[in-house]
Copies of this chain bind each other. A is one copy, B any other.
Amino acid sequence: MPPISASSPSSPINAGSRPLRIALFGFGTVGRSVARILIESAPAGLELTHIFNRNVARKRVDWVPSSVIWSDDPEMILSAAKDSANAVDVVVELAGGLEPAGSWARKALSAGKSVVTANKKLIAYDGLELEALAAKHNCHLLYGAAVAGGIPVIPGLEHGLAGDRVERIEGILNGTCNFILSKMETGADYATVLAEAQGLGYAEADPTEDVAGYDARAKLAILMRLALRAQVNPEEIQTSPITTVTAIDFSYAKDLNCTIRQIARAERVNGHLAATVRPMLVPQSSPLAWSRGTENMVITTGHYGGDVVFSGHGAGGNPTAVAVVSDLLGLAHGSCRISIPSTPTKVGTELEVPHYIRFLVNDRPGIVAGIAGALAHEKINLNAILQKPGYPLDELPFVVTVEPCRTSALKRALVEIGRMPALLEKPLDLQILEK
């Protein structure tokens, strides 16, 4: 990569005089990739000076220049006096989680050090507070790596779509779930694929954050702030785990020309904001059905510009590191985020979309009549009933699809249906994406 010269007429942090001094906080997969790019590509204006990690001795690698200071004391860097050997301009926070990452970020910003982070949780929960702190201390908070790793969704929203009025976001924001579901599409079952994902390092020993939708929820909250200009409490975004999806659902989905993906979705409907993260039926014709493996994808729908699709590698050391280094270059060049104002907004769940409902029953006369009656009572139109041959009558899966209906009405109907003694388990209710 050729050197990058700071020829911008704006006011870069380092004012062209000396490179930005950078401390990496966290030397795991992403931290190593960031160091690798900074050393290999050596972009002008950036200098890696410190690496902090707990028990740092075990992290040392020989390809890092001897000028870099290794430390397991965060205070040494965070509290360094200006012009001391340990003074840095930027803290790159890659530890993840709310603490101690949040305390480090607050301390750095309060001392006028900019922070670049890939920490979706911290930004989803405390991003606004940290941005205000950065502004107060005349430094910057950048988090292009916090959503969709190496795909420039955040820069695209801030610098390319700020002029639009985005009305909807739909995305695949969790690579682990996409890996699991796109493998299940080919016939594998959940437990087998989860074990494979764990073996490949794509899933944690406890996969809850990913499969329950909490990871994608934090990312969606960030995108909602930037795209829909809504400040939301991530915990108000309703989630539903992918663990309830089985092989039979993929088989029925295929009959409906669909597949199943974990979709993060937020939109403004009739002046309200609805958002959810859950497995959904996705039509094969939608770009969201094309993403395979650990890929991420985001589709924004703008009032003026229509649909824009971003896709690529949403996680992994190198793609995430590209976003971090790009943010560092932005700092070195005096570019800054376009601060898009947002408004505190309550998140609702009321949508009017079609649904797929899979039942598991001990077959007996009257089941369909009972289900149809409960739906009719809520004025929900039944669309199709699908029943594949070859299953035992006392454990029979079958599927009902319904036309677009209000979430609350369907919920009431399902409570009613749930009282039928023939039902062996709670019905699986999946929204169907409409394009």
Taking Cβ atoms with an 8 Å cutoff, the residues of A that contact B are 1-11, 33, 37, 41, 43, 134-135, 138-140, 144, 149-165, 229, 287, 290, 302, 304-313, 318-319, 321-330, 333-343
**Given known A302-B322, A304-B322, contact A339–B7 (CB-CB < 8 A):** yes
The residue of chain B having its C-beta at the shortest distance from the C-beta of A308 within the complex is B312
A304 with B339: CB separation less than 8 A: no
> Known contacts A312-B306, A343-B2; is A163 also within 8 Å of B8 by CB?
no
Chain B residue with Cβ nearest A131: B7
| Min C-beta distance of A115 to chain B, whole Å | 13
- Distance of A161 Cα from B160 Cα, bound (Å): 14
Return the chain B residue nearest A10 by Cβ: B336
- Is B329 a contact of A140 with CB atoms below 8 Å? no
* A338 contact set on B, CB distance < 8 A: 4, 8, 326, 329-330, 333, 335
List, in ascending order, chain B residues with CB within 8 A of A311's CB: 287, 308-309
A10 touching B9, Cβ below 8 Å:
no
User: Which residues from B are CB-within-8-Å of A339?
Assistant: 4-8, 333
Chain B hits for A318, CB < 8 A? 304-306
When distances are taken between beta carbons in the complex, the residues of chain B under 8 Å from A312 are: 305-309
- Could you tell me the distance between the alpha carbons of A343 and B2 in the complex, rounded to whole angstroms? 9
Measured in the bound complex, the distance between the Cα atoms of B71 and A208 in whole Å is 63
Q: Residue among A138, A152, A229, A307 with the most chain B CB within 10 A? A: A152
Distance A153 CA – B341 CA, assembled complex (angstroms): 23
Is A337 a contact partner of B336 (Cβ separation < 8 A)?
A: no
From B7, B10, B322, B341, A2 is in contact (CB under 8 Å) with B341
In the assembled complex, which residues on chain B have CB atoms less than 8 Å from the CB atom of A2?
Answer: 229, 341-343
Asked if B150 contacts A308 (CB within 8 A), the reply is yes
| CB of A142 to closest CB in B, whole Å | 10
- A165 near B41: Cβ-Cβ < 8 Å: yes
Question: Please, how many angstroms separate the alpha-carbon atoms of A6 and B338 in the complex?
Answer: 8
Q: Establish whether residues A321 and B304, one from each chain, have CB atoms under 8 Å apart when the complex forms.
A: yes
List, sorted by A's number, 17 A–B pairs whose CB atoms are closer than 8 Å: A2-B343, A6-B339, A8-B135, A10-B10, A41-B165, A150-B305, A152-B159, A155-B158, A159-B159, A160-B322, A161-B326, A164-B325, A302-B322, A305-B318, A305-B319, A326-B338, A330-B338
Minimum CB–CB distance for A181 against chain B, Å: 19
